[in-house]
Structures are given as structure tokens and as C-alpha cells.
């Protein structure tokens, strides 16, 4: 049994009483509800993530050079050895050597507070990316793999995982144009390298604020924005502002078209399409969806259109509810506009169910939520967290916590670095980053996976722990779903470890965790008032769950619009501007009017990491819903079902066809119609997540 440690001793004084409020937490809960112990400055700097060379930004150059030397040796080994399992193992070592630098740099370039580290990491990403593109068009290297795949006797001797990984490596060659003549292969490399630059340019541009002369805005709303001399800087939509004029101004200014970024997006989409056509695909979407659950853009559009049809009446009803609320609140205009959606959907929920996030937050201290996750994983999967003190130089901020993930019989599974708290220059987004993939090493030992979870939570103070609102709590559970996928996807090969799988499958474990996060039986295990220790009342959980269905159809339809826009942008060229395409898609798939002189697509950062795959969130949610209802709704702590979930869905990473993993869990392969029905059912029916049916 874990030793409980005292965390807070709060002294509450008033004119008559002096009371002492004591709350106890497990070591994991205490680690997140207390301020982090300072690192010993006299310790030797071990480098970021314990990588010795990364104690300074210059270490990235050293790491790149080491990876390049290893790459040369491994390419030579792969090309000179006879075809067999060793060929695949060598390819995986090659992948691992490059990914150890690229993945780590991919996080550091956005997460490190030191600009010098960020710049060095960004250069490393581009340099390693260029090397990868050249390797993907290396004819001799490809021939060594083709010799294996063409040799039936050798191929039949391989185990299924090794054969699958060999096929995936060959797929990477094929989509890079290995079958082309030398000049066209060179063109493919050039396009890929150009895309690296365009991706960075567009992604950076999506986050840049827009400026406007201070005098252009009414004086009474200027204080709502960042004032810089004679100009006002607007870096977001302010969608939750109660002032309609603030929302409207933020929407029109933040989304005002940037001509250079519009050109960048045009070049990006043109370059992607040119590359896809060059290597033999109808469009970039066809290339991107090869190997996914959906498989083709036609299937994705069928899914989105069928979902739109099923939601149409519900979406219209939701928008009417928002319009009625807007009229009731005496707004300047009764027409519902895009800047109204988030605010009035929240207002409708709050009015119907009296949802005030601040009433929930005292029950969701970060420590309590981490305890809840620890207890859930322990019961469901036999996995627990152990807090570890980082060494000097191991983390990039003293607020980062390090967790060892330990299985009750298998021992250490890997490490999660928890970068949860806000700080200047840190992106306001919730992300999971793979730093090191798991794999079986040549000496027979397992290379433990290492990941970072990045959130944007308020830091604790001396007297108050970090308190999460319900949305923050769900996001924590969501990202931890990704982390556990990384920890438990213990594949033989790094190339397919953990979340290195089809994008429309990778979101299933994370979204499934959201169902656990809103089940009273789960919440009741950990939601305690951080001062009194009182449990969160069941009625508050029920109201929260029920409120999520209000305006849920309109919220889902907005995601459908984003997914459809993404598909059209990456389909066959339209010979129209991206803004004209946006207007048409908004009219067909959303329902609220396009606002002239705006370009929302320039803030659509998912076009980079999720190009042609934004639909994945919806399809994964449908799968997760079906898994929840069939496997966990009756008993969210069922260990047998937890082991089946690990065995069928988590353990394989990307080493198994995604739909085969779904089929193993659900005992059938869902149709598009069944996926749509699962999403609609979540909006329509009472759910066990809102009540305790354990009796």
C-alpha cells in the first residue's frame, strides 16, 4: 500500500474560528499538487532527457553528425547483407537513429523556453528531414528491401510483424517516387525538401497575431486586447468573451487575410499535389490515406456527407437554440454569426444545467486527477506511475515532472515527462510528443519509450494546487490516452511503436479516455475538494454529462466542415482560391455564413500535421464510442476487458492493420453507417457516463 503524505495544511481564519484543513494524497498526487523540488545546481548537467551532448544548443549539431555517421554504416550494412530478418532490423535501426534526433528536436523547437535551443532544434529537424527524403529515394537501399520482398522463401520465413514492417518501409519508398527515373526522383526529393520549408512557414504564420491601429477600435473595448503603442495586437478569437463587439472585432481582425500566408498556402497545396501526381496518385489525399482505416478520400467524403445528413435536423435545432439565447441576451443583432457559436452554445448549456466551471475546479486539483488516472490504469491494466526527481539539465523547465510507468509484473515500461504548466513563449496547446520509440535492441534488452505530454495549466501556488476545469480534466485524460498507447505499444520495431500508426486509429485510445473521464464511477474515485476532502456530488457529474449533448450536433457539424475543407484542399485542384473553396464548404457543411474579408484557413494549423486526415478525430471518436459502449460501459474497471484492450488495440502500435485491431476488439468491422450512427447516438441517448449503473 502506498504511503500517504500530507500535502496542504491550510489555516482559515475568521472572527470566530481557527480551523485546520488537511488533505492527504498518494506520492503521485502530492508530486503534482506541490511545487517541484529544486534541482541540485551542483549536480552534473546530464543533458536534455539524459542525452549527454544536449546540455547546450550546440549538442544538436553533434547529435546530427553522430546520427549521420550511424546512417552511413547502417545503409552499407543493409545493402551488403543477404535478404532476411536482419535486413528489416537494420532498416529499423536506421529509422531509430534518425528519429532519436528528429523526434526530440521536433519537441524542443516548440517546447523549450530558450530561443537558442529552439533554433538549433528547428535546424536539426530540417536537416534530418532532408536526409530522410534522400534515403527514401536511394535506389540501392530500396533494392536491398525489394530483394527480400521478392524472395518468397525468405518472405515466408518472416514473422507477421517483421513482414508488415518490411512492407511499410517499402511503402515509404514508393510514395517518395523510388520507381521514377533519376531526374524525377531528384524532383521528388526537391519537392519534399521544399515542403519542409513551406510547412514551417505556414505553421509559424498560423500563430502570428494581427495588428490594427488603436483608433480603429471603439475605446471601450481596447482594453480587452494587447495594446502596443498606437496599435492593438490580436492573437486569438476571444470566442468566450461576453461582449459581442469584442468577439466580432477579434474574429474579423484575427482572421483578416495575410497575402503572403495565402501565397504560402497556395504553394504548399500545389507542392503536395505535384508530389502526389509525380509518384502516381490521383491527389495528395489519395496518397495520404493509403494505409488508413478510411483508405480513400471517397470513403471519407461518404462518411462526412452521411454524418451531415443525419445531423441536419439536430444542427438546425441547435442553431435555433443559440439564436433564441442571443435574442434573450439583447444582443445588437439577432443574426447568428460564426463568432457567436462557442459563446452561445456555452450560454445555453449554462442556463439549462447551471454549469459553472469554477464550481467544479476545487474538486479537480491536478494531483487528484493524476491519482485518478493512476488508480484507473492500475485497476484496468496493472500499470502505475512513480514520480522521479529529474537530474540537472534533464528537463527544460523546473516545473516539468517525470513519471516512470511501471507494470505490476513486467516492471518499467517507459517514461512520461509532464510539461503541464503555462510559461512565456510556450504554445497554448495540448500535445503528445514521442521522444524515443520503444524497440527490442540488438542485445535483447528493450529500449523504453519516452514521451512528453504538454498542457497549458495554471501553475500551483504556495497555498493552492493547480485546479482544472472540466474541459482541462478531459484534455488531461485525452493526452494520457496517447501516452499509455506509447507505453503499452511495446513492439519489436521502433518504426511501428506506440502511436506510430494510422492517424485515424491513433486518436482512438485518447478519445476513449474522455469517456472514462465523464463516467461517475471513475470520477468518484478521485474528485475530492482540495480543502475539505468532500467528493464531487453525483448530481454535478450528471449535469455536466447531460450538458455536453446540448448543441453537440452543431459542434460536431463544425468539425465536419473542417474535415471536408481539408479533403477538398487536398483533392484534385479546384482552380479557385482557398478562400472561395472555404466559402463553398462553409455553406454546404456548416450553416453559419462566411464573413467577407476573412480567411479562417490561415489559422487551420492542422493542415500541416493532419493534411487530408483531419477527419480522423471524427472517425476515431466513432470507434472509441463503440469500444466504450460494447466493452467498458457496463464496468469501466473490468480487468479482463482492460487486458483485451491492451492485447487487441494498444500492443501492436502500427504493426497491424488498423481495422484488424478494431475488429479484434469489437469482434466485427464497423461499416461507415455504423460509425455515423455511433456519433449520432452519443448526442441522442442517455449514457451510463452520466449515472452509476453498477448496482
User: Which is nearest to 394 in space by CA: 340, 450, 448?
Assistant: 450
- Please say whether the dihedral angle defined by the alpha carbons of residues 148, 149, 154 and 157, taken in this order, is positive or negative: positive
pLDDT score recorded for residue 412: 98
Q: How distant is the alpha carbon of residue 106 from its chain centre?
A: 14
Q: What is the mean pLDDT of residues 272-276?
A: 97
Q: Are 111 and 419 in contact (CB under 8 A)?
A: yes
Q: How distant is the alpha carbon of residue 382 from its chain centre?
A: 25
CATH T-level assignment (fold) for domain 57-179: Glutathione S-transferase Yfyf (Class Pi); Chain A, domain 2 (1.20.1050)
Question: Which residues is 450 bridged to in the sheet?
Answer: 415, 436
pLDDT score recorded for residue 41: 64
DSSP-assigned letter for residue 353: H
Block residue for cell numbers 508488415: 164
Rg for the chain, CA atoms, rounded: 26
* Confidence category of residue 6, pLDDT binned at 50, 70, 90: very low
pLDDT score recorded for residue 425: 83
Question: How many residues are recorded in the chain?
Answer: 695
Angle formed at CA 416 by CA 413 and CA 419, multiple of 5 degrees: 180
Strands 439-440 and 383-388: unpaired
Burial class (CB in 10 A: 0-12, 13-18, 19+), 364: buried
Instruction: Quote the longest CA-to-CA distance of the chain.
Output: 88
pLDDT score recorded for residue 667: 95
Note the pLDDT tens digit of each residue in 34-44: 766 666 667 88
Calpha distance 506→250 (Å, rounded): 34
Calpha distance 41→55 (Å, rounded): 14
Q: Is the model's pLDDT at 7 over the cut of 60?
A: no
Strands 231-234 and 210-213: antiparallel
- Would you state the cell numbers that stand for residue 477, as one nine-digit string? 485524460
H or E stretch at 60:
helix 59-80
Looking at the chain, the whole-number percentage of residues with pLDDT higher than 90 is 85
- Would you state the cell numbers that stand for residue 650, as one nine-digit string? 494498444
- Would you state the cell numbers that stand for residue 383, as one nine-digit string? 500499470
pLDDT score recorded for residue 5: 37
* Confidence category of residue 219, pLDDT binned at 50, 70, 90: very high
Tally of CA atoms within 13 A in the half-sphere of 72 that contains its CB: 5
- Would you state the cell numbers that stand for residue 187, as one nine-digit string? 524532383
Q: What is the mean pLDDT of residues 536-565?
A: 94
Q: What is the mean pLDDT of residues 118-124?
A: 96
Q: What is the mean pLDDT of residues 477-504?
A: 96
21-30, 519-528, 612-621: which has the minimum mean pLDDT?
21-30
User: Which is nearest to 596 in space by CA: 260, 257, 265?
Assistant: 257
- Burial call 673-690: b when 16+ CB within 10 Å, e when fewer: eebbbbbbebbeeebbbb
Q: Is this prediction's pTM over 0.85?
A: yes
Choice between 346 and 33, residue whose per-residue pLDDT is larger: 346
Q: Are 607 and 284 in contact (CB under 8 A)?
A: no
Q: Residue ranges of the domains in the chain?
A: 57-179, 210-252
What contacts 348, CB < 8 A, 6 or more positions away?
321, 322, 325, 550, 551
Block residue for cell numbers 466559402: 583
- Please say whether the dihedral angle defined by the alpha carbons of residues 195, 199, 200 and 202, taken in this order, is positive or negative: positive
Note the pLDDT tens digit of each residue in 356-381: 888 999 999 999 999 999 999 999 99
Choice between 337 and 330, residue whose per-residue pLDDT is larger: 337
Q: Are 493 and 165 in contact (CB under 8 A)?
A: yes
Block residue for cell numbers 449533448: 549
Note the pLDDT tens digit of each residue in 196-218: 899 999 999 998 999 999 999 99
Question: Which residues is 401 bridged to in the sheet?
Answer: 418
Calpha distance 146→88 (Å, rounded): 11
The counts of H helices and E strands in the chain are 27, 12
Strands 226-228 and 18-25: unpaired
Q: Are 10 and 531 in contact (CB under 8 A)?
A: yes
Calpha distance 650→490 (Å, rounded): 9
User: Backbone phi, then psi, for 682, in 5-degree steps?
Assistant: -65, -25
Calpha distance 563→616 (Å, rounded): 8
Calpha distance 163→236 (Å, rounded): 47
Q: Is the model's pLDDT at 661 over the cut of 80?
A: yes
pLDDT score recorded for residue 39: 62
Looking at the chain, the whole-number percentage of residues with pLDDT higher than 70 is 94
Question: Which residues is 411 bridged to in the sheet?
Answer: 407
Question: Which residues is 387 bridged to in the sheet?
Answer: 403
Block residue for cell numbers 495588428: 211
On average, the pLDDT of the chain sits at 92
Note the pLDDT tens digit of each residue in 409-455: 999 999 999 999 999 888 888 999 999 999 999 999 999 999 999 99
- Would you state the cell numbers that stand for residue 82, as one nine-digit string? 543477404
Calpha distance 267→264 (Å, rounded): 5
Calpha distance 675→666 (Å, rounded): 12
Q: Are 19 and 1 in contact (CB under 8 A)?
A: no
Q: What is the mean pLDDT of residues 127-138?
A: 93
User: Backbone phi, then psi, for 440, in 5-degree steps?
Assistant: -85, 120
Q: In angstroms, what CA-CA distances link 317 with 19, 304, 321, 345, 551? A: 51, 19, 6, 12, 8
Across 15-19, 228-232, 350-354, the highest mean pLDDT is recorded for 228-232
Active-site amino acid positions = 479
* Confidence category of residue 685, pLDDT binned at 50, 70, 90: low
Q: What is the mean pLDDT of residues 117-136?
A: 94
* Confidence category of residue 11, pLDDT binned at 50, 70, 90: very low
H or E stretch at 385:
strand 383-388
Q: Are 468 and 438 in contact (CB under 8 A)?
A: no
pLDDT score recorded for residue 655: 95
User: Which is nearest to 49 in space by CA: 437, 452, 429?
Assistant: 452
Amino acid at each position: 500500500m502506498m504511503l500517504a503524505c500530507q500535502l496542504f495544511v491550510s489555516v482559515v481564519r475568521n472572527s470566530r474560528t481557527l480551523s485546520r484543513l488537511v488533505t492527504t494524497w498518494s506520492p503521485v498526487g502530492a508530486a503534482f499538487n506541490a511545487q517541484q523540488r529544486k534541482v541540485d545546481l551542483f549536480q552534473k548537467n546530464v543533458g536534455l532527457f539524459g542525452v549527454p551532448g544536449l546540455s547546450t544548443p550546440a549538442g544538436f549539431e553533434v547529435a546530427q553528425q553522430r546520427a549521420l555517421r550511424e546512417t552511413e554504416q547502417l545503409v552499407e550494412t543493409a545493402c551488403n547483407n543477404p535478404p532476411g530478418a536482419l535486413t528489416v532490423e537494420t532498416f529499423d535501426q536506421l529509422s531509430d537513429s534518425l528519429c532519436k534526433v528528429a523526434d526530440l528536436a521536433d519537441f524542443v523547437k516548440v517546447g523549450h523556453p530558450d530561443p537558442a535551443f529552439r533554433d538549433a532544434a528547428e535546424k536539426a529537424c530540417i536537416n534530418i528531414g532532408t536526409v530522410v527524403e534522400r534515403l527514401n529515394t536511394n535506389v540501392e537501399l530500396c533494392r536491398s528491401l525489394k530483394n527480400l520482398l521478392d524472395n518468397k522463401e525468405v518472405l515466408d520465413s518472416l514473422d507477421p510483424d517483421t513482414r508488415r514492417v518490411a512492407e511499410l518501409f517499402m511503402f515509404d519508398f514508393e510514395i517518395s517516387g523510388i520507381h521514377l527515373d533519376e531526374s524525377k526522383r531528384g524532383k521528388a526529393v526537391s519537392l519534399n525538401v521544399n515542403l519542409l520549408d513551406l510547412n514551417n512557414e505556414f505553421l509559424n504564420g498560423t500563430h502570428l497575431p494581427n495588428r490594427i491601429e488603436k483608433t480603429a477600435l471603439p475605446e471601450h473595448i481596447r482594453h480587452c486586447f494587447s495594446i502596443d503603442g498606437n496599435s492593438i495586437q490580436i492573437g486569438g478569437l476571444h470566442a468566450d468573451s461576453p461582449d459581442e463587439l469584442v468577439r466580432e472585432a477579434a474574429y474579423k481582425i484575427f482572421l483578416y487575410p495575410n497575402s503572403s500566408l495565402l501565397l504560402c498556402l497556395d504553394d504548399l497545396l500545389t507542392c503536395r499535389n505535384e508530389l502526389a501526381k509525380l509518384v502516381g496518385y490521383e491527389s495528395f489525399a489519395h496518397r495520404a490515406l493509403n494505409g488508413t482505416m478510411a483508405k480513400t478520400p471517397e470513403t471519407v467524403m461518404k462518411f462526412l456527407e452521411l454524418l451531415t445528413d443525419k445531423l441536419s435536423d439536430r444542427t438546425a435545432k441547435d442553431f435555433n437554440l443559440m439564436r433564441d439565447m442571443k435574442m434573450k441576451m439583447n444582443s445588437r443583432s439577432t443574426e447568428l454569426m460564426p463568432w457567436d457559436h462557442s459563446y452561445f452554445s456555452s450560454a445555453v448549456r449554462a442556463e439549462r444545467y447551471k454549469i459553472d466551471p469554477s464550481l467544479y475546479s476545487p474538486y479537480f486539483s491536478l494531483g487528484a486527477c493524476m491519482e485518478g488516472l493512476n488508480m484507473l490504469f492500475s485497476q484496468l491494466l496493472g500499470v502505475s506511475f512513480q514520480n522521479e526527481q529529474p537530474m540537472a539539465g534533464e528537463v527544460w523547465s523546473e516545473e516539468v515532472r517525470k513519471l516512470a510507468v511501471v507494470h505490476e509484473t513486467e516492471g518499467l515500461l517507459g517514461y512520461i515527462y509532464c510539461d503541464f504548466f503555462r510559461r512565456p513563449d510556450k504554445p497554448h496547446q495540448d500535445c503528445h510528443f514521442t521522444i524515443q520509440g520503444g524497440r527490442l535492441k540488438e542485445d535483447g534488452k528493450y529500449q523504453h519509450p519516452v514521451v512528453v505530454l504538454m498542457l497549458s495549466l495554471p501553475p500551483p501556488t504556495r497555498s493552492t494546487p493547480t485546479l482544472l476545469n472540466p474541459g482541462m480534466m478531459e484534455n488531461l485524460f485525452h493526452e494520457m490516452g496517447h501516452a499509455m498507447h506509447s507505453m503499452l505499444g511495446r513492439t519489436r520495431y521502433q518504426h511501428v511503436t506506440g502511436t506510430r500508426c494510422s492517424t485515424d486509429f491513433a486518436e482512438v485510445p485518447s478519445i476513449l479516455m474522455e469517456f472514462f473521464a465523464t463516467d461517475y464511477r471513475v470520477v468518484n474515485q478521485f474528485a475530492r475538494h482540495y480543502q475539505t476532502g468532500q467528493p464531487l456530488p453525483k448530481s454535478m457529474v450528471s449535469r455536466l454529462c447531460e450538458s455536453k449533448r446540448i448543441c453537440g450536433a452543431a459542434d460536431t457539424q463544425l468539425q465536419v466542415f473542417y474535415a471536408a475543407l481539408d479533403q477538398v484542399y487536398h483533392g484534385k485542384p479546384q482552380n479557385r482560391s482557398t478562400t472561395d473553396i472555404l466559402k463553398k464548404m462553409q455553406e454546404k457543411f456548416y450553416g453559419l455564413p462566411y464573413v467577407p474579408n476573412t480567411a479562417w484557413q490561415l489559422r487551420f494549423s492542422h493542415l500541416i500535421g493532419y493534411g487530408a486526415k483531419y477527419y480522423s478525430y471524427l472517425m476515431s471518436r466513432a470507434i472509441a464510442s463503440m469500444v466504450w459502449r460494447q466493452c467498458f460501459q457496463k464496468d469501466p474497471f473490468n480487468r479482463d476487458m482492460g487486458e483485451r484492450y491492451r492485447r487487441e488495440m494498444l500492443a501492436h502500435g502500427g504493426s497491424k492493420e488498423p481495422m484488424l485491431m478494431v475488429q479484434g476488439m469489437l469482434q466485427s468491422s464497423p461499416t461507415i453507417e455504423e460509425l455515423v450512427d455511433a456519433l449520432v447516438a452519443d448526442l441522442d441517448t442517455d449514457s451510463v457516463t452520466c449515472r452509476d449503473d453498477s448496482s
